[in-house]
Amino acid sequence: MIVGLTGGIGSGKSTVARAFGSLGIGWVDADDVAREVVAPGEPALTAIAQRFGNKALNSDGTLNRAALRSIVFDDPTERQWLESVTHPQVRERILLHLERLQRQSPYVLLVSPLLFESGQDALVNRTIVVDVPVDLQLKRTLQRDGVSKAQVHAILAAQLPREERLAKADDIIDNSGDHASMLHQVTQLNQHYQSGLL
């Protein structure tokens, strides 16, 4: 079984994934895979450099994420182009990682901020949405990422509205409380998923 884990920016997806990991559950993070496919020598990075030039690259030839983020969130057409280049490669690489993990774990997680928006939910059997109120998303992201409020709002606008994401969820983890509350919810879901596999 593959379980999709998603949530808006700043909701705590990675923290929840690590909690499942501590229970022996393997997981693939779509953001990590997205970084893999734009590493030096990868075809996606070559395409990005050809389209945007040196402003999209750091001096060492790696992707300048901050510059690219500014370009694509200021222009929806450029974001669509970037997604058309990277999403197919990300999907292919995700499938390879999931297949490897399925041999070692009772079920696996696909952690993806754009699970529904990218169509990656078609790869999973169930979905978990990690949920927090929008004002908490904003506060956490500003503290963590050092980006402007305008950029956070642009990222939020690129993701499904909270209500739509919740409506698509099979399971919901409320991550607006303390760490112990989140761990309790993860433990309960893990027991549910494993008992369903027996």
Is 13 annotated as belonging to a binding site?
Answer: yes
Best CA proximity match to 7, nearest among 172, 190, 185, 182: 172
Residue with tokens 């409320």: 174
Q: What residue type is assigned to position 170 of the chain?
A: D
Is 148 annotated as belonging to a binding site?
Answer: no
Is 12 annotated as belonging to a binding site?
Answer: yes
Best CA proximity match to 113, nearest among 3, 11, 18, 1: 11
Cα three-residue angle 77-80-85, rounded to 5 degrees: 130
Q: Rounded to whole angstroms, what are the CA distances from 50 to 42, 43, 73, 82, 115? A: 13, 11, 19, 12, 28
**From the CA atom positions of the chain, what is the Rg in Å?**
17
Is 11 annotated as belonging to a binding site?
Answer: yes
Q: Rounded to whole angstroms, what are the CA distances from 93 to 50, 97, 104? A: 23, 6, 18
Q: Which residues are annotated as a binding site for ATP?
A: 10-15
Q: Which residues are annotated as a binding site?
A: 10-15
